[in-house]
């Protein structure tokens, strides 16, 4: 089982910095895993893809990658409040090359999912990933609130 794909050249984003893009990717994976009996083959049609980083997962008709499509990390929205649109990038809170496939890699590295086969995009939600989903549901966290979500490991009896 792989924790992250071999071609990843970007640094792994730590769980403490996960923002809306990471958590929404996990929500999507949880949804397709529920439909797929605990495992899923991710569909490139619904994933943000930087074709220069992940050409095998690029859609033939996708629009060219723009820096604005990059992953936003925890604190991105607060940094934007300063009326300086470039501030999040300068602070490292907006990763302009980082796409949803990189989020999948980060989520796997943090233990929220397992990558069963990277070339075929097969993943499985782990117990930690399921726990995070339960926390989001219990807290009523909607997609608009994911920027503020913070996973808290369950206490072991």
Q: Of the candidates 41, 14, 43, 10, which has an alpha carbon nearest to the alpha carbon of residue 107?
A: 14
- Say what the pTM is: 0.83
The structural domains of the chain, with segments of one domain joined by +, span: 15-58+65-138
What is residue 70's DSSP assignment? S
pLDDT band at 157 (very low <50, low <70, confident <90, very high): very low
Q: Please list the alpha-helical segments (H only) found in 2-148.
A: 20-35, 76-80, 87-90, 100-109, 127-139
Of 43-47, 69-73, 81-85, 132-136, the least confident: 81-85
């Amino acid at each position: 089982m792989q924790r992250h794909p071999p071609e990843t050249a970007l640094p792994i984003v730590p769980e403490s910095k996960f923002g809306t893009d990471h958590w929404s990717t996990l929500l999507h994976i949880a949804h397709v895993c529920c439909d797929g009996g605990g495992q899923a083959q991710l569909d490139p049609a619904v994933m943000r893809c930087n074709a220069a980083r992940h050409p095998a997962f690029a859609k033939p008709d996708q629009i060219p990658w723009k820096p604005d499509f990059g992953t936003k990390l925890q604190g991105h929205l607060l940094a934007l409040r300063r009326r300086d649109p470039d501030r999040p990038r300068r602070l490292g809170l907006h990763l302009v090359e980082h796409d949803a496939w990189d989020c999948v890699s980060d989520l796997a590295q943090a233990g929220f999912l397992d990558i069963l086969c990277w070339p075929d995009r097969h993943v499985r939600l782990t117990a930690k990933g399921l726990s995070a989903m339960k926390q989001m549901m219990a807290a009523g966290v909607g997609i608009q609130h994911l920027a503020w979500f913070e996973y808290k490991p369950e206490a072991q009896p």
